[in-house]
Amino acid sequence: MQTYFYQLADFIQTLLKADETTLANLSAEESSFVRFNKSAIRQAGSIKQIGLTVALIAHQRRAESRLTLSGNKADDEGLVRAAIDALRRDLGDLPEDPYLLYNLTPQSSEMTGPSALPDDAAMLDQILAAGRGKDLVGLFASGAIYKGFANSLGQRNWHHVNNFNCEWCLYHTADKAVKSSYAGTHWNAAEFEKKMALATLKLNILQRPAKSLSPGQYRAYLSPTALNEMMGLLSWGGFGIKSQRNKQSPLIKLEDGSAALHASVSIVENARDGVAPGFQADGFLKAPSVALIHQGKHAGALISPRSAREFGISTNGANSAEAPESLEMAAGELAQHDILKTLDTGIMIGNLWYLNYSDRASCRMTGMTRFATFWIENGEIVAPLNVMRFDDSAYRVLGENLLGLTRERDWILDSASYGERSTGSSRLPGALVKDFSLTL
């Protein structure tokens, strides 16, 4: 795939006129997908797809086209030639772009991520064996993901990773189920069995009569998965320089210094240790690590090339949305195996769902508890909880009400596959908080 892409990039260069520049971005995969229901394979398939985005730039104007390639060199060269001709015609009708910025200093790179995956059949056999006698519902995806960048200035970047992602529920009845996931670049049978054993234990507890809580404030433990939902919402405009400069960031009070999070909260965009490529669509390399929040205070922002040009600053290789792709929160001091004892009496939240802002300017979020959320008394799980809505501010949950973060962190790979498999990831601890607000 790499050789093919580079050959195609070389071909594109032969089509250019003296005053033209091209940027080419490849996004390809060879993936297998398996869907489970009632602990059996109900749907299985595989896909090989190659997508290419070609941008033609001249006289401070840019036009681009998205192509689906076949992998046949002659056919694909014909598609690319036609695309360049069409883009050249389009450029004459476009206005100059005052914020156009792309990398003019070639910086080539190559990365093939570490991987130790058995064949799909071995992983699926273990999943099916673990689900025997239960109603296991879920989706398994695995395979190779390829990302490439090439420009007519001679820059070549390549990224190849093999990984898997399995998300499943052990279903009980109605809205009662235990959701779990296991993902990574190395399959560890013992680690999977550990996750399945914990899910099975929670499934047995779900069979107890459910408890309903009155609206109010409760001591709560948010699992890394639940915290990941909050981070996903914060990433929607919270860490980008454009939203901060335009005063639209949900963390604007953090940025201007009028509010702070707990001193134990430090968040970085850790491109060095993620599974996303270390380069972006305009040819800039990503900074290995970008501090976003340090010890509860604003520390920086993700800066896309367009924002860099608009605000007269340097880009750090952020994507056009200025959203994290490899977000990481620092670990705390709480021991995971003691978390129920430390919680004592309150709520253990396994998942949150349907999050949105109820007051964006105050970074106030609302959403639903979901799947395995339990009532804890004296450090013991007593009963599953019926679904509740929460409404609380990040400045409370990760600020004044934060009691601690766990030493252990989960590496959570984004399971999204809309159009293509995602390379996003998060590494997060669990969070113990007081006075977590449930509204109905």
Give pTM, 2 decimals. 0.95
- Is 397 domain-assigned? yes
* Residues contacting 16, CB < 8 A, separation 6+: 22, 84, 152
Q: Is 70 helix (H, G, I), strand (E, B) or coil?
A: coil
Interstrand relation of 156-173 and 109-112 (parallel, antiparallel or unpaired): parallel
Number of domains in the chain: 2
> Which range marks the domain in which residue 49 is found?
2-206
- Both 183 and 246 in one domain: the answer is no
- Both 286 and 353 in one domain: the answer is yes
* Residue where a domain stops, chosen among 149, 174, 206: 206
- Both 343 and 391 in one domain: the answer is yes
- Both 232 and 196 in one domain: the answer is no
Give the pLDDT confidence score for residue 155 in this predicted structure: 98
* Residue where a domain stops, chosen among 183, 206, 229: 206
- Both 50 and 144 in one domain: the answer is yes
Tally of CB atoms within 10 A around 360: 17
- Is 425 domain-assigned? yes
- Is 383 domain-assigned? yes
- Is 211 domain-assigned? no
- Is 302 domain-assigned? yes
- Both 315 and 274 in one domain: the answer is yes
- Both 245 and 291 in one domain: the answer is yes
User: Using CA atoms, how far apart are residues 63 and 41, in angstroms rounded to an integer?
Assistant: 44
Positions in the chain whose pLDDT score sits under 50: none
**What is the DSSP code (8-state) at residue 340?**
H
- Both 48 and 191 in one domain: the answer is yes
Question: Tokens at residue 248, please?
Answer: 């639209």
- Both 324 and 410 in one domain: the answer is yes
- Both 292 and 424 in one domain: the answer is yes
Give the pLDDT confidence score for residue 106 in this predicted structure: 96
- Single out the residue of 233, 194, 216, 214 nearest to residue 353, CA to CA: 233
User: Using CA atoms, how far apart are residues 272 and 291, in angstroms rounded to an integer?
Assistant: 13
- Enumerate the H helices of 107-171 as residue ranges: 120-131
Give the pLDDT confidence score for residue 290 in this predicted structure: 98
Provide the Cα torsion 364, 368, 373, 205; round to 10°. Answer: 170
The answer to whether 169 and 36 are in contact (CB under 8 A) is: no
- Both 43 and 180 in one domain: the answer is yes
**What is the DSSP code (8-state) at residue 401?**
T
The DSSP string of 286-338 is PPS-EEEEETTEE---B--HHHHHHHT-------TT---SEEEE---SB-GGG
Give the pLDDT confidence score for residue 173 in this predicted structure: 87
Long-range contacts of 252-260 (CB under 8 A, 24+ apart): 252/361, 253/361, 253/362, 253/363, 253/395, 254/293, 254/297, 254/298, 254/363, 254/395, 255/298, 257/297, 257/298, 259/395, 259/399, 260/296, 260/297, 260/395, 260/399
- Is 181 domain-assigned? yes
- Both 52 and 90 in one domain: the answer is yes
- Is 193 domain-assigned? yes
* Residue where a domain stops, chosen among 206, 228, 263: 206
| CATH number for the domain that contains residue 46 | 3.30.2290.10
- Is 39 domain-assigned? yes
Question: Tokens at residue 82, please?
Answer: 């036609």
